Amino acid sequence: MKTLDDLLAEGVSGRRVLLRADLNVPLDGETITDDGRVRASLPTLRRLTGAGARVVVTAHLGRPKGAPDPKFSLAPVAARLGELLGAPVALAADVVGASARSTVDGLVDGGVALLENIRFDPRETSKVDGERAEFAGELAALVGDGAAFVSDGFGVVHRKQASVYDVATLLPAYAGGLVLAELEVLRRLTGTPDRPYVVVLGGSKVSDKLAVIESLLPGVDRLLVGGGMCFTFLAAQGHGIGDSLLEADMVDTCRRLLADAGDKIQLPVDIVEADAFAADATVATVAATEISEGWKGLDIGPATAKRYGEVLASAGTVFWNGPMGVFELAPFAEGTRAVAQAIVDSPAYSVVGGGDSAAAVRALGLPEDGFSHISTGGGASLEFLEGKTLPGIEVLERS
């Protein structure tokens, strides 16, 4: 796999570089609520601009339905990226149209342009190879002869999409610094991690994490379960869970996992329950086996947090993916905060698996440097750990 170092050694001054970044940030209106992915893109961008490249960035935001939609515009991202780089970032008003062409033509050495949301073109995510290839050809033509492609959006490398996969078959392709760093971390987790190896899994659904649970279980020492998914496990043990989240079709699967895992899987011993899904709901802490009829479990309780913290304190390696409760609502944030703080306090090599976990770290004001690595790609990280082939990585290895 050729890398950013290889490209820089070849020389990029005055040369156009098409860079696929992951700038899919959460927005409140036009305000970015978590700019972690924007900041993660900076090292590769700065190395390219510092060497005089003319950088054309492609990225997506949200899930527009293959057509321009103002609420998914990358305008707030372009503004924030410019602030962080200390130089304006020109935003094209389209993807490969007249505005994109004039914006790219206007670039100077060391300049950065951002194309509008790549998913405004339906060919980006098409399942038809020819449609994606056509779009990739237009992206390659936009940057012209002598250009290069750098893949630095780790959060999308598990997608076979035009700006991730197909364009790498048309231009000289290189792995960016962020992609390389993510791969190094994940290979450490799947290689010979320091022991004990503890995985903390949360989030809402067992079905979302089933493949990674089955892949990780043989190699981990403890798997600590929280979030909405814990209630399907508790139901599999025969406990009442009130009106808590339940995947009824996964109960038998959870029962099998518990039987196969022995004492590896640990479930909550107490739960923070509420009479409604609301910040002002009536709240109580109960044993995990005594959730009230008609109430919802929305966080792990303090006894569970303490118990999980003790396991994490002696860990050699920790992988955490998924919050322990509905951390966005104050009454149900303490479980996630306590477990995250326990990971920070642990001497373990610790990896936060992107997505909601990374958002929780920042939303709860925890020190980002307290973790060894915070991934930018939740889905991509999980698929790597499941042993799946990531198309965006495979194409780089073949380039």
Residues annotated in the binding site, as ranges?
A: 22-24, 37, 60-63, 119, 159, 209, 297, 328, 354-357
Measured from the Cβ of residue 398, the count of other Cβ atoms closer than 10 Å reads 10
d(CA 265, CA 209): 14
Catalytic residue among 205, 264, 307, 362: 205
Measured from the Cβ of residue 75, the count of other Cβ atoms closer than 10 Å reads 15
Catalytic residue among 36, 153, 177, 355: 355
What residues form DSSP beta bridges with 223?
A: 199, 265
Among candidates 379, 369, 315, 310, which has minimal Cα distance to 338? 310
Q: Is 239 left (phi over 0), alpha (psi -120 to 50) or beta?
A: beta
Catalytic residue among 39, 370, 379, 388: 379
What residues form DSSP beta bridges with 57?
A: 19, 114
> C-alpha distances in angstroms, 194 versus 60, 170, 351, 371, 394?
36, 41, 13, 15, 28
Catalytic residue among 15, 20, 37, 80: 37
∠ CA 315-316-319, nearest 5°, is: 80
Residue 195: active-site member: no
Residue 11: active-site member: no
Residue 164 is given by DSSP the state T
Tokens read off for 118: 């790549």
Are 318 and 299 contacting, i.e. CB atoms less than 8 angstroms apart?
no
Binding residues for (2R)-3-phosphoglycerate: 37, 119, 159
Cis ω for the linkage preceding 196 (within 30 of 0): yes
Residue 39: active-site member: no
Residue type, 380: A
Q: Is 176 left (phi over 0), alpha (psi -120 to 50) or beta?
A: beta
Residues 6+ apart with CB under 8 A from 209: 201, 203, 229, 321, 322, 382
Are 20 and 164 contacting, i.e. CB atoms less than 8 angstroms apart?
yes
Residue 309: active-site member: no
d(CA 232, CA 215): 19
Q: Which residues are identified as catalytic?
A: 37, 205, 355, 379
